[in-house]
Amino acid sequence: MQRFVTSFVVTLIVALGASAGMARAQQRPPNSVPLAFGMSADQASQSLGVALNYVRGTPGNELFVALPNVRGSVLSRRSDGLYLQFGRGRLIAWKGDWGTNPP
């Protein structure tokens, strides 16, 4: 019985630590500007706090993906990217949501 209680307490502590770590990973850094239409690729990258990776497109009309920075957390399930579509060098659309966790 004591082994079960000890195992349960350790599991609970690990679970609470993982949820706190995921909450910290999803917070925007202080003094950052929220993502908005009309931003350049550099401004969007600074806003998200991660580098943008080229997917396809011609210069000025590219599609980039930004992968979330979970800081190496083994217990994190965040692996989806935020896709950013640029037209004439400005952000015109994005797809994906870093604000929610998948089920």
Quick: pLDDT tens for 34-87.
899 999 999 999 998 889 999 999 999 999 999 877 665 555 555 578 899 999
CB 54 within 8 A of CB 45: no
Higher-confidence residue of 90 and 76: namely: 90
Can you give the pLDDT at residue 15?
Answer: 57
Note the Cα 89 to chain centre separation in Å.
Answer: 23
CA distance 72 to 38: 32
| Res 12: pLDDT | 54
**What pLDDT score was predicted for residue 86?**
96
Examine the pLDDT at 89 and tell me if it is beyond 70: yes
Tally of CB atoms within 10 A around 48: 22
Mean pLDDT value of segment 81-96: 92
